[in-house]
C-alpha cells in the first residue's frame, strides 16, 4: 500500500469509495478520473489518494466493470427541514414537474380554480 493511502484513509464523509474485494485492478477509474483522485498501489489497485478533489462526476462509478466504486453525492436539503427521505425527494420532484406543466414556479399557491366551459362563457352559458 502506498504512503498516500495510509495518510488519507477513506472516511464516512468521503465522496468516493472502492470495494477492493470486487476490484480487479483494471485501471479504468485511475485513467478516467479528470481530477486525478486515484493512484495505483504496487499491485495496480486503485487508491483514493486525493478524496477532497473528487467532484462526484460519476465517471469512475459508471465505467467500473466490476461495480467496485461508489460515488456518494450529497442530498440537497430544503432550508429549515431535517434530512430528506426518498419519499420527500420524490414529492418535491413531482411538485416541480406539476408546477412546470402548469406554468408556475414550484411552491407557488395555485389560487385559481379551473374554469369549466359554462362558467367561462364558452358553450352559451354566459352573457354575450
3-71: which CATH number, 3.30.1330.10, 3.40.50.970, 3.40.50.1980, 3.30.70.20?
A: 3.30.70.20
Higher-confidence position of 15 and 106? 15
Lowest model confidence (mean pLDDT) among 46-55, 62-71, 114-123: 114-123
Percent above pLDDT 70 for the chain: 62
As a whole number, mean pLDDT of residues 49-62 equals 93
Q: Report CA torsion sign: 73, 78, 84, 90.
A: negative
- Residue 9 CA to residue 59 CA, distance in Å, equals 21
Decide the pairing of beta strands 46-48 and 38-40: antiparallel
Amino acid at each position: 500500500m502506498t504512503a498516500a493511502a495510509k495518510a488519507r484513509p477513506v472516511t464516512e464523509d468521503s465522496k468516493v469509495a472502492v470495494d477492493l474485494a470486487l476490484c480487479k485492478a483494471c485501471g479504468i477509474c485511475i485513467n478516467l478520473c479528470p481530477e486525478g483522485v486515484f493512484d495505483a498501489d504496487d499491485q495496480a489497485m486503485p487508491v483514493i489518494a486525493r478524496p477532497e478533489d473528487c467532484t462526484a462526476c460519476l465517471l469512475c462509478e459508471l465505467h467500473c466493470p466490476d461495480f467496485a466504486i461508489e460515488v456518494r453525492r450529497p442530498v440537497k436539503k430544503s432550508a429549515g427541514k431535517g434530512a430528506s427521505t426518498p419519499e420527500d425527494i420524490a414529492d418535491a420532484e413531482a411538485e416541480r414537474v406539476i408546477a412546470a406543466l402548469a406554468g408556475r414556479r414550484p411552491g407557488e399557491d395555485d389560487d385559481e380554480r379551473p374554469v369549466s366551459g359554462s362558467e367561462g362563457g364558452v358553450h352559451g352559458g354566459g352573457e354575450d
